[in-house]
Amino acid sequence: MGRLFRGLRGGLAGERKRRYDKYIDSSLWRSRRAAWVAVERERVGSRIVCVVCRGEWVFGSDDLHHVDYTRLGAERHHDLVPVHRVAHDQIHALIDGFHLTRRVPLRLANRHAISILRRKKQFNCALRAA
């Protein structure tokens, strides 16, 4: 099912996109985000970092990225990763631009996109918009 949600941020129309948008705007998602943060802080300590640049991730202003949409609405902790907005947009741009999900499962495509961004010397999450 992960492949069915391919390109959600890249313009997938229809019921899947509506379901995703409705969920992201819901109190259920806000509650899930808060629960994810609580578990992550317990796991790593108080400082949560962006998986791309390792800079501090801030609850409320930075994003949680779905590495897989299979369990949308019932995500497991490892289905979400903390990213700065700039990195989040770039992850989706790489996955959509290279059509990675046509070649590999979404979870692997995400791992690959994050790896590419980590290696890019000119890419810097610190330049993210305030």
Give yes or no for residue 38 having a pLDDT over 70: yes
What is the average pLDDT across 12-35? Answer: 89
Tens digits of per-residue pLDDT, 54-85? 999 999 999 999 999 889 999 999 999 999 99
- Separation of alpha carbons 115 and 81, rounded Å: 13
Domain boundaries, the chain: 2-127
Average pLDDT of the residues of the chain: 85
**What is the arithmetic mean of pLDDT over 94-121?**
87
Decide: pTM greater than 0.75.
yes
Beta bridge partners of 113: none
Tokens of 40: 């992550």
Alpha carbons within 13 angstroms on the beta-carbon side of residue 118 total 12
Residue 12's pLDDT is: 52
- Amino acid 10: pLDDT: 46
**64-76 burial string, b = 16+ CB within 10 Å, else e?**
bbbbbbbebeebe
pLDDT at 122: 64
**pLDDT of 92 strictly over 50:** yes
Structure confidence at residue 125 as a pLDDT band (50, 70, 90): confident
Percent of the chain with pLDDT over 70: 84
